[in-house]
Amino acid sequence: GEDVEQSLFLSVREGDSSVINCTYTDSSSTYLYWYKQEPGAGLQLLTYIFSNMDMKQDQRLTVLLNKKDKHLSLRIADTQTGDSAIYFCAERPPGTYKYIFGTGTRLKVLA
Amino acid sequence: DTGVSQDPRHKITKRGQNVTFRCDPISEHNRLYWYRQTLGQGPEFLTYFQNEAQLEKSRLLSDRFSAERPKGSFSTLEIQRTEQGDSAMYLCAGGDRSVTGANVLTFGAGSRLTVL
């Protein structure tokens, strides 16, 4: 199918780590992406990973990729209240120009 | 501010009316996308332009929807004979290539449509 799947909600305490999971559809997708959406705003690119990598670290963000299982995760270390938002994973399968987005995971950070 | 401008930000219209949204991407964006996002969902692809050519269009896009990018710069998305089911956020994104070669999207803030 064409559904990129994510769990809908995640709640963590400030200072803890958050892990957001995603299952994508096409193991041939060259890049996998994470976007963040704050209320009333468009999507903002957070990070991406090339499909021949297993892990990418970017400051507080760590992306893990399991290509065999088509599983992508985003770990946010030392989660802050400003990280509260909706997080979308996305892929762009070969043979199409379109990016396919997941349904989004709403992260709530409790002070 | 991402540099991708969308206008209007909010539009309320009555069922059956036509509406038009405009997107002004960053000048370097030769690729331009339109997406639709309903409450609680991820963005859903509508159409893609490379310069002025419309290269891909969603099968879900009915013939009431049309998009143009006449000079390869700004783009318009028109919805004719609006229906209540058209109520959504319409997002425009410019496509760019990062320094590592990844194709990435830069989104505008969106145009929210409410059809009464």
DSSP state letters, A40-98:
TS-EEEEEEEETT-SEEEETTEEEEEETTTTEEEEEESS--GGG-EEEEEEE--TT-S-
- The answer on pLDDT for A2 being more than 70 is no
Question: pLDDT tens, A35-56?
Answer: 999 988 889 999 999 999 999 9
pLDDT of residue A104: 96
Task: Tell me the mean pLDDT in the region B81-97.
Answer: 93
Report yes or no: B48 and B94 within 8 Å, Cβ to Cβ: no
B78: pLDDT strictly greater than 90: yes
Q: Spell out which residues of chain A touch residue B48, defining contact as CB-CB under 8 Å.
A: 97-98
Name the residue among B40, B43, B100 with its Cβ closest to that of A43: B43
Report chain B residues whose CB lies below 8 A from the CB of A42. Answer: 2, 4, 91, 93, 107-110
Q: Is the omega angle on the peptide bond into residue B43 within 30 degrees of 0, that is, cis?
A: no
Chain mean position to CA B116: 21
Q: What share of chain B is helix, strand, coil (3-state, %, to 5)?
A: 5, 55, 45
Q: With bands split at pLDDT 50, 70 and 90, how would you rate the model's confidence at A95?
A: confident
- Asked if A103 lies within 8 A of B91 by C-beta distance, the reply is no
Using alpha carbons, select from A82, A1, A90 the residue that is nearest to residue B93.
Answer: A90
pLDDT at A1 over 60: no
